[in-house]
Chains A and B, each alone.
Chain A
Amino acid sequence: ETGVTQSPTHLIKTRGQQVTLRCSSQSGHNTVSWYQQALGQGPQFIFQYYREEENGRGNFPPRFSGLQFPNYSSELNVNALELDDSALYLCASSVTSGGRGETQYFGPGTRLLVL
C-alpha cells in the first residue's frame, strides 16, 4: 500500500511569485486536506477536497487555492507569495464515506521558503 506522497520536498521562491505543491493520496483514499505548519507551531487547516470540490476551508485568504483530480490527487496553489507563507505544507488523505470523514494520514510535507 502506497502512502501519501508530496512534491517537491523543498522549494525556494521570492515574494510575489506563485507556487504549486502536489499531493498523491494513499491508495483507497478519496479526500485530501492541506495544512500549513509554521516553524515551532502546530498545523493550521487550509482546506479539504472531496469529490473534486472544496469541502471546508480554514482562515486562509483566497490566494490559497486548490484542486482535486479524478484520481484523488491534489494541488495547492499559492499566489502572490508573502514572507509569512514560509512554512511546511502538509497534505493528508483520508476516506469520506456516507458524509463522515475518518482518520487523516499525512505525507512528509513540502518545505517552502519565501525570500
Chain B
Amino acid sequence: AQSVTQPDIHITVSEGASLELRCNYSYGATPYLFWYVQSPGQGLQLLLKYFSGDTLVQGIKGFEAEFKRSQSSFNLRKPSVHWSDAAEYFCAVGSNYQLIWGAGTKLIIKP
C-alpha cells in the first residue's frame, strides 16, 4: 500500500538551532516528492520538490531535502531555524495526479 510516514508529530527546537524533519514513504516506484508548509488556518506552500536528478534539493526559505532511495526517505533540513519557521510541515509523494500525504510535523520554536 502507498503511504507516507512522518514519525514526529511535534518537534521543538531553539531559534538558531538546526532542524531535520523525517519523511519515509512506501510507493511502487520512485515517486515525485514534495515538502509543503502550512501556517495556522492557511493553505499549503511548496517548499521544495524532487522529480529526478540530483538527490539534494534546495528550496525556499533556506530549506533543503535529500532523497535516499535505499531508505525510501526524503528528510527536510535547515541549518538555522527562525521563529517565523514555526508551522506544520507536510511531506507528500505521488504520481501525475494524486498526492499522498503524511500526517504532518508541527514545528515549535523556542526563543
Given contacts A90-B43, A105-B46, A107-B43, contact A100 B96 (CB under 8 A): yes
With A and B bound together, what is the CA distance between A96 and B98 in angstroms?
13
The yes or no answer to B74 lying at the interface (CB within 8 A) is no
Chain A residues lying within 8 Å of B49, measured Cβ to Cβ, are: 103
Q: Nearest chain-B residue to A99 (Cβ)?
A: B96
* List of B residues within 8 angstroms of A100 by Cβ: 96
User: Is the Cβ of B98 less than 8 Å from the Cβ of A43?
Assistant: no
Contacting residues of chain B (9-64) with chain A, CB-CB under 8 angstroms: 34, 36, 41-46, 49
A73 near B: Cβ within 8 Å?
A: no
**What residue in chain B is nearest A43 (Cβ atoms)?**
B101
A103 to B42, CA, bound (A): 19
Chain A residues contacting B46 (CB-CB under 8 Å) are 103-106
- Closest-CB distance, A99 to chain B (whole angstroms): 7
Docked complex: A24-44 residues within 8 A CB-CB of B: 31, 33, 35, 40-44
Does B98 contact A42, Cβ atoms closer than 8 Å?
Answer: no
CA distance A9 to B92 in the complex (A): 24
Q: How far is the CA of A50 from the CA of B98 in the complex (A)?
A: 13
A48 — which chain B residues lie within 8 A by C-beta? 97-98
Q: Interface centre among B34, B46, B99, by most A CB within 10 Å?
A: B99
Complex interface: chain A residues within 8 A of B104 (CB): 41-42
Bound together, the chains give a CA A39 to CA B11 distance in angstroms of 18
Of the residues B43, B97, B103, contact of A106 by C-beta under 8 Å? B43
A41 contacts across to B, CB distance below 8 A: 103-104
Is the beta-carbon distance between A109 and B43 smaller than 8 angstroms?
yes
Q: Mark A56-75, 1 if CB is under 8 A from B, else 0.
A: 10100000000000000000
| Partner-A contacts on B (CB < 8 A) | 4, 34, 36, 41-46, 49, 90, 92, 95-104
Beyond known contacts A42-B104, A96-B97: 20 more, CB 8 A cutoff: A35-B99, A40-B103, A42-B4, A42-B92, A42-B101, A42-B102, A45-B99, A45-B100, A48-B97, A48-B98, A55-B97, A56-B97, A90-B43, A101-B95, A103-B46, A103-B49, A104-B99, A106-B44, A108-B43, A111-B41
